[in-house]
Amino acid sequence: MADRTEILEAALDSYPEGLALLDMEGQLIIWNRAAEAITGYTRVEMLGRPAPAALKPLLIAAGPSEQELFTEARAGRVLLEHKLGHKAPAMMRALVLRDGLGEFIGREIVFHPAESLDALPHGECGEDSNVEIDQAEFEDRLTELFKDFLQGGESFGLLWIAVDQAPGLRKTHGAGTCELMLGKVEQALKHGLRPSEEMARWGDSEFLVLSHERTPKMLAAHAQLLAGLSRTADFRWWGDRVSLTVSIGAAQAERGESLADLLERAKAAMLTSFHAGGNQITSASGRPSCSPS
């Protein structure tokens, strides 16, 4: 006859989501079969170890475990690294475990693959990129805003911005130099954002701006301003100032389309600008036009 421990383990292994239980010291004491399948790490590799590498994204999202700092359940999106090396977006929720007297005794973290993260078009990311998490957080905001728009909320538009010089700079001088340049461009772009606008990295060399301009014409005019500001980014390499330009695709939200459709239109418009030689702005329903000098 099976004892209670065997019954408990069987029950946890039948659970469809990944489950991690940690004791007071942060030692992993439960790692079920779903957790093994999602991450590629077996319980033999994981149990009894303080904060294994595969758990770090989950623990960061779960927050501190001290009672005075963590009193509510937490949920969010994380980017897990599979044992084989590929990155796996996941949804997680975590809560503090307490005994009958309310004393902290550990943490429970439940997670499952976030297939929906791949449903929307994103910028291209290299193997060592760290921007996917930013994309996931911004995607939540876009999804919420688009849902509100479909229910009668205010119109909004997207500006998909690619830095023309980034691919060449990344290839010739490496990712570190390219990141330094992108930081300069990001600072310049932020000077032109309205108080209600938001911007996020949307790929290794790209940005996405969520704008509340009310018409395609107003959105394109705002894109012209941002394109001009990007050229003011003071990026120097070995004493020489590198001239920077951007390719921008502008797309206004339309009822009757999906958020994925809106993003695809913005991306297609950006690519039209890029393949037209860069330093261009293209509205999703129009032709590329040169940025103002």
* φ and ψ of 87, to 5 deg: -95, 135
The predicted structure's pLDDT at residue 114 = 67
Contact between 271 and 249 (Cβ < 8 Å) = yes
Picking from 139, 151, 159, 160, the residue whose alpha carbon sits closest to that of residue 255 is: 151
Residue 7 buriedness (CB in 10 A; 0-12 / 13-18 / 19+)? exposed
pLDDT tens per residue, range 96-139: 888 888 888 888 888 887 654 445 666 555 544 444 446 777 88
Which residues is 240 bridged to in the sheet? 237
Q: How far apart are CA 271 and CA 264, in angstroms?
A: 10
Residues 153 and 241 reside in one and the same domain: yes
Residues 214 and 179 reside in one and the same domain: yes
| Three-state DSSP class for residue 65 | coil
What Cα–Cα distance (Å) separates residue 165 from each residue in 168, 182, 199, 249?
6, 10, 20, 17
What does the DSSP 8-state code read for residue 117?
Answer: G
Residues 238 and 159 reside in one and the same domain: yes
Residues 141 and 53 reside in one and the same domain: no
Residues 63 and 139 reside in one and the same domain: no
Measured at the CA of 155, the angle between CA 152 and CA 158, to 5 degrees, comes to 140
- Helix or strand (DSSP H, E) at 172: helix 166-173
- Please state which of the ranges 122-126, 163-167, 190-194 shows the lowest mean pLDDT: 122-126
Contacts of 267 (CB under 8 A, 6+ apart): 121, 160, 249
Residues 238 and 130 reside in one and the same domain: yes
Q: At what angle do helices 175-190 and 216-230 cross, to 10 degrees?
A: 130
What is the pLDDT confidence band of residue 159, given thresholds at 50, 70 and 90?
Answer: very high
Residues 205 and 235 reside in one and the same domain: yes
Residues 84 and 162 reside in one and the same domain: no
| 20-24, 154-158, 255-259, range with greatest mean pLDDT | 154-158
What does the DSSP 8-state code read for residue 69?
Answer: T
Domain boundary among 96, 113, 130: 113
Is pLDDT at 222 greater than 90 in this prediction?
yes
What is the pLDDT confidence band of residue 163, given thresholds at 50, 70 and 90?
Answer: very high
Contact between 35 and 19 (Cβ < 8 Å) = yes
Contacts of 263 (CB under 8 A, 6+ apart): 120, 121, 158, 160, 251
Residues 133 and 241 reside in one and the same domain: yes
Residues 267 and 127 reside in one and the same domain: yes
Which residues is 98 bridged to in the sheet? 104
Mean pLDDT of the chain: 80
Q: Find the mean pLDDT for residues 157-180.
A: 86
Picking from 6, 288, 280, the residue whose alpha carbon sits closest to that of residue 162 is: 280
Q: Read off the amino acid at residue 142.
A: L
The sign of the CA dihedral 120, 122, 127, 129 is: negative
Residues 164 and 273 reside in one and the same domain: yes
Q: Find the mean pLDDT for residues 226-244.
A: 81
Q: How far apart are CA 99 and CA 126, in angstroms?
A: 45
CATH number for the domain harbouring residue 190: 3.30.70.270
* Percentage of the chain modeled with pLDDT above 90: 19
Q: Find the mean pLDDT for residues 67-86.
A: 64
The predicted structure's pLDDT at residue 17 = 84
Domain hosting residue 81, numbered range: 4-113
End-to-end CA distance of the chain: 82
Q: Say how many domains are in the chain.
A: 2
| Three-state DSSP class for residue 128 | coil
The predicted structure's pLDDT at residue 282 = 93
What is the pLDDT confidence band of residue 2, given thresholds at 50, 70 and 90?
Answer: low
Is pLDDT at 231 greater than 70 in this prediction?
yes
What is the pLDDT confidence band of residue 74, given thresholds at 50, 70 and 90?
Answer: low
The predicted structure's pLDDT at residue 281 = 94
Domain boundary among 75, 95, 113: 113
CATH number for the domain harbouring residue 28: 3.30.450.20
Residue 238 buriedness (CB in 10 A; 0-12 / 13-18 / 19+)? exposed
Lookup: tokens for 292 = 């103002």
Residues 130 and 275 reside in one and the same domain: yes
Is pLDDT at 62 greater than 70 in this prediction?
no
Domain boundary among 92, 113, 134: 113
Contact between 229 and 192 (Cβ < 8 Å) = yes
Lookup: tokens for 2 = 């099976």
Q: How far apart are CA 214 and CA 254, in angstroms?
A: 11
